Structure 1
Amino acid sequence: MISYRLEAEGKMSRGSLVRMEQGALSEGDTLVRVLYSGINYKDALAGQGKAPIAKSLPLNCGIEAVGHVVESTNPALEPGQAVIAHGMGMGVARDGGLADYMRADSEWLVPLPKGLSLLEAATIGVAGYSAALAVDRLESLGVEPDNGPIAVTGATGGVGSQAVAMLARLGYEVVAVTSKTDAGELFRTLGAADVIAPPEASDRMLDKSIWAGAVDTVGGDVLAWLLRSAKAEAAIAAIGNAGGNRLPTSVIPFILRGITLTGINGNSPPALRRRIWERLGSDLRPPRISAIARVIEPEEIDETMAEMIAGRTRGRAVVAFCGG
């Protein structure tokens, strides 16, 4: 079998395409023949030696994969069944999905929902799942289309762009917040009502109330701005920290406007994971999924990761381990 495998390089890891024995894979009750695996920024950091992502080495890279069950000790899974895998320590503490085979724990595998092909599920990937989880959470907190505009920050990223499309499809007035304002036409095709740049940092505790809700992938000063400009009883789903780990805010938005700040963790329990993927095959299915997929061969993984780190990639890179 072939895999993009991480080896120790000083305090970091470095990936390369290798051949390995299937019997050397991490333990798990189900063997999956991987057909597609999306490349995420976290994978690129590990593969290019930019961050200490992997907790044990050597290790196959990749925090997600889709494919067919080969064998399983769980009678609920049949050979040939299409499944989705992500999280579970994949590519961090156990062998991940950038390989043509992987072992997984059956309780975390999600049957491919109706309405999606395996390539579409791989294109949606962890980013789309996280976006759907955030949208589902806002709905559960009472954020409805009639409440007012919804902000999505870091909107050019994988999570942000899919959140824009999902919210627009559900009838929300979506404002894409991004420093890349030249991407306005792209966001209008995804359904955004407007595209704006994030404001400068401020020490103010409250601003004019604008947002009925938000999906924030940035954190830091941008999340602080969303909190102080949110409407009364608004809800904000925090899902990233590209803008920093610290949150320079106060209790004022919470106690004067009743704001809810809710965190989104993609390693959600199995029942929730399955429910969200069912929605991704139906009412949260992003439009034009195939248009954002860029299918590559395993031999292109290293180059693609380097381009991703340099900020030069477009669309969603999906590795085909099925020969096409």
Structure 2
Amino acid sequence: MFTAILVDKGDAGYHAERRDLDEAQLPDADVTVRVSYSTLNYKDALAITGEGPVVRRFPMVPGIDLAGVVESSSSPAYAPGDRVLLNGWGIGESHWGGLSQLARVRSEWLIPLPVGLTERQAMAIGTAGYTAMLSLMALEAHGLTPAAGDVLVTGAGGGVGSFAISLLARNGYSVIASTGRPSEAGYLTRLGATTVIDRAELSEPGRPLGKERWAGAVDSVGSHTLANVCAGTRAEGAVAACGMAQGLDLPASVAPFILRGVSLLGINSVTQPSTKRVIAWDRLSRELDADQLTEISHEIGLGETIPAASDLLAGRIRGRIAVDVDR
């Protein structure tokens, strides 16, 4: 037996609860992991509350991240005792995920836990930190350097935003942080932001082309915010789009793209090949400040995830949530 968060939908409606389950109920796959830590992400909060169509099949164990130790394996790639992590690949959406003491997953979805990271630290980083690193790597591949000018980070107080600020600052960039919580200015400055602006500057419908304000951006908000971010990007700059907190729509003009040569870089954190995942996680293990990781994240137990999901969607939680699945 093991304990997990289980989401189901039936005649009684949509509900999530902490349940004891039998190992025989786990889905088919070639590696069973004894999970140490998972996370609570925006997607997980949508899955738990039913506020968004995240879950593809029922019943479902949410949790798009997990880290732990291989318990059994029929794959030559992993053996019992190996320390591993997983994020993405549809776990917590179409395949049972990490908010559970046991998970059975496909070996090709896993990567070895980077040397120097504990399971708890890896989940303090989770998909949010990994997505922030993919965004930085995309901007670098585009040719962005610190000498080009400021880089904007929207949704700065959230998980992706917090890590993006820290990683950009550690790599020498001057960071503008956009947030709807002015009280978090001190926190964002400690992470490395040089300027903090109110998200209201970007969240309403704007002009097709605005003043050139930043050389690049990491946007986890979408909708009007992303449109305004593109409109304010300097010539030949780039915007890494990695989230949709404000909405899936993009009410934008082509003007920034054809008059300034701005590039919009889509960040897919779900199905990246293992080679790219290993590179990203290796950089995370080396480039993140351990003290900042402690400030960006906090820990809860598995039993606290259901009420915390509503708080996360309401914007009442700063940074990252690591989940100890054994309490």
* Alignment check: 8 A CA contact 2:4 2:100 kept: yes
Task: Using the TM superposition, give the Cα deviation of residue 313 of structure 1 relative to its aligned residue in structure 2, in angstroms.
Answer: 2.7
Alignment of 1:257-276 (within 5 A): 257-267=260-270, 268-276=272-280
SS of residue paired to 2:132: helix
Misfit runs of 4+, over 6 Å? none
Aligned counterpart, 1:30: 31
Task: Using the TM superposition, give the Cα deviation of residue 300 of structure 1 relative to its aligned residue in structure 2, in angstroms.
Answer: 1.8
Pair 1:217 & 2:220 matched: yes
Pair 1:288 & 2:286 matched: no
Pair 1:238 & 2:241 matched: yes
Task: Using the TM superposition, give the Cα deviation of residue 298 of structure 1 relative to its aligned residue in structure 2, in angstroms.
Answer: 2.1
Aligned counterpart, 1:321: 325
Q: Which stretch of the first structure deviates more once superposed, 261-270 or 290-299?
A: 290-299
C-alpha change, 1:153 and 1:286, in structure 2 (3 Å) is: farther
Number of matched residues? Answer: 323
C-alpha change, 1:286 and 1:226, in structure 2 (3 Å) is: farther
Aligned counterpart, 2:312: 308
* Alignment check: 8 A CA contact 1:220 1:248 kept: yes
Amino acid of the structure 2 residue aligned with 1:319: V
Task: Using the TM superposition, give the Cα deviation of residue 78 of structure 1 relative to its aligned residue in structure 2, in angstroms.
Answer: 2.0
SS of residue paired to 2:218: strand
C-alpha change, 1:27 and 1:2, in structure 2 (3 Å) is: same
What do you get for the CA RMSD once the two structures are aligned?
1.8
* Alignment check: 8 A CA contact 1:11 1:52 kept: no
* Alignment check: 8 A CA contact 1:100 1:321 kept: yes
C-alpha change, 1:256 and 1:314, in structure 2 (3 Å) is: closer
Amino acid of the structure 2 residue aligned with 1:282: R
C-alpha change, 1:10 and 1:228, in structure 2 (3 Å) is: farther
C-alpha change, 1:205 and 1:182, in structure 2 (3 Å) is: same
SS of residue paired to 1:132: helix
* Alignment check: 8 A CA contact 2:162 2:319 kept: no
SS of residue paired to 2:286: coil
Amino acid of the structure 2 residue aligned with 1:313: I
Task: Using the TM superposition, give the Cα deviation of residue 245 of structure 1 relative to its aligned residue in structure 2, in angstroms.
Answer: 2.3
* Alignment check: 8 A CA contact 1:219 1:238 kept: yes
Task: Using the TM superposition, give the Cα deviation of residue 171 of structure 1 relative to its aligned residue in structure 2, in angstroms.
Answer: 0.5
C-alpha change, 1:86 and 1:207, in structure 2 (3 Å) is: same
Q: Which stretch of the first structure deviates more once superposed, 193-202 or 235-244?
A: 193-202
SS of residue paired to 1:4: strand
Task: Using the TM superposition, give the Cα deviation of residue 316 of structure 1 relative to its aligned residue in structure 2, in angstroms.
Answer: 2.5
Q: What is the rounded CA distance, in whole Å, between the counterparts of 1:37 and 1:209 in structure 2?
A: 40
Q: What is the rounded CA distance, in whole Å, between the counterparts of 1:176 and 1:25 in structure 2?
A: 42
Amino acid of the structure 2 residue aligned with 1:41: Y
Question: TM-score when scaled to structure 1?
Answer: 0.94
Identity %: 40
Return 5+ residue gaps in structure 1 as ranges: none
Question: TM-score when scaled to structure 2?
Answer: 0.93
C-alpha change, 1:96 and 1:215, in structure 2 (3 Å) is: same
* Alignment check: 8 A CA contact 2:157 2:318 kept: no
Q: What is the rounded CA distance, in whole Å, between the counterparts of 2:207 and 2:41 in structure 1?
A: 36
Q: What is the rounded CA distance, in whole Å, between the counterparts of 2:235 and 2:104 in structure 1?
A: 47
Aligned counterpart, 1:95: 96
Q: What is the rounded CA distance, in whole Å, between the counterparts of 2:177 and 2:56 in structure 1?
A: 35
C-alpha change, 1:122 and 1:247, in structure 2 (3 Å) is: same
SS of residue paired to 2:140: helix
* Alignment check: 8 A CA contact 2:240 2:266 kept: yes
Q: Deviations over 1:124-177 (max 9, x none)?
A: 011111111001100000000010000001111111111011100100000001
Aligned counterpart, 2:194: 193
* Alignment check: 8 A CA contact 1:132 1:276 kept: yes
Task: Using the TM superposition, give the Cα deviation of residue 271 of structure 1 relative to its aligned residue in structure 2, in angstroms.
Answer: 1.6
Alignment of 1:95-244 (within 5 A): 95-198=96-199, 199=201, 201-244=204-247
C-alpha change, 1:13 and 1:211, in structure 2 (3 Å) is: same
Q: What is the rounded CA distance, in whole Å, between the counterparts of 1:91 and 1:152 in structure 2?
A: 27
Alignment partner of 1:249 out of 252, 263, 269: 252
